[in-house]
Amino acid sequence: GQNIDQPTEMTATEGAIVQINCTYQTSGFNGLFWYQQHAGEAPTFLSYNVLDGLEEKGRFSSFLSRSKGYSYLLLKELQMKDSASYLCAVRDSNYQLIWGAGTKLIIKP
Amino acid sequence: ETGVTQTPRHLVMGMTNKKSLKCEQHLGHNAMYWYKQSAKKPLELMFVYSLEERVENNSVPSRFSPECPNSSHLFLHLHTLQPEDSALYLCASSQEFGTPSYEQYFGPGTRLTVT
């Protein structure tokens, strides 16, 4: 079966750095997405990785290792508004998106 | 503003009711999706439409019936639902279906409660 694993919940401090991990086992691989979802709101696109390595976008970076079936989302200089759920999704060989259950990130002052 | 709107935002219905969820995208996209989101569970893809043709139907019960009259509008018709169908129903669109890098744009969802 296909599976995406990510921690259920994480807590971090304002101004700090946090890394949210995602491991996957899918039928084929056509890229990995990270989305942010604030409570009661729509998921919004953060990043897309298809090649190994680190992609940086301002305070957010996303890393991919295809050989390890592993990705992480790195958030720097955390702000209170970063409190949200972070969803990892992998596009499989049939171009379907397989989703993780999301990681709820709680930022404390 | 993501360019994808959904109505209603909240819906409470009895098990014998019939209701419809509406989604509209203002992005000129060719693909539209219905997802079910339950607490602490992964998003479940229900239906995919590409250029108004259904391309995916992931073993969804027949009490859910989609309709895509044009590439900007998507409906989900509901009838004789069960309490376990209570969830957040999300609509999404993407530029095309089948291109790996195209991200999906989501609407705010309809919070459905079946009593």
Q: What chain B residue is nearest to A40 in terms of C-alpha separation?
A: B108
pLDDT at B56 over 80: no
What average pLDDT does range A4-9 have in this prediction? Answer: 97
How far is the alpha carbon of A60 from chain B, nearest alpha carbon, in Å?
A: 17
Measured distance CA(B48)–CA(B35) in Å, rounded:
9
Q: How many CB pairs under 8 A join A and B?
A: 49
* Residues A53-102 pLDDT 10s: 999 999 999 999 999 999 999 999 999 999 999 999 999 998 889 999 99
Task: Name the DSSP letter for residue B1.
Answer: -
**Confidence at B87, pLDDT banded by 50, 70, 90:** very high
**Which residue in B has a C-alpha nearest to residue A100's C-alpha?**
B42
Q: Which two tokens stand for residue B102?
A: 């195209």
Confirm if B34 and B74 have CB atoms less than 8 A apart: yes
Contact yes or no for B43 and A33 at CB 8 A: no
Query: Best of B24, B25, B43 to disrupt the A interface by mutation (most A CBs within 10 Å)?
Result: B43
Check: CB of residue B112 under 8 Å from CB of residue B15: no
Ordered DSSP codes for A31-71: -EEEEEE-TTS--EEEEEE-SSEEEEETTEEEEEETTTTEE
Contact call for A87 and B100, based on CB within 8 A: no
Whole-number pLDDT of residue B27: 95
Average pLDDT rounded to a whole number, residues B47-74: 91
Asked whether the predicted pLDDT for residue B1 surpasses 60, the reply is no
C-beta neighbour count of A53 within 10 angstroms: 9
Q: What percentage of chain A has pLDDT greater than the value 70? A: 100
Is B42 touching A (CB cutoff 8 A)? yes
Predicted confidence (pLDDT) per residue in B6-47, tens digit: 999 999 999 888 999 999 999 999 999 999 999 989 999 999
**Confidence (pLDDT) at B20:** 97
User: Nearest-CA distance from A49 to chain B in Å?
Assistant: 9
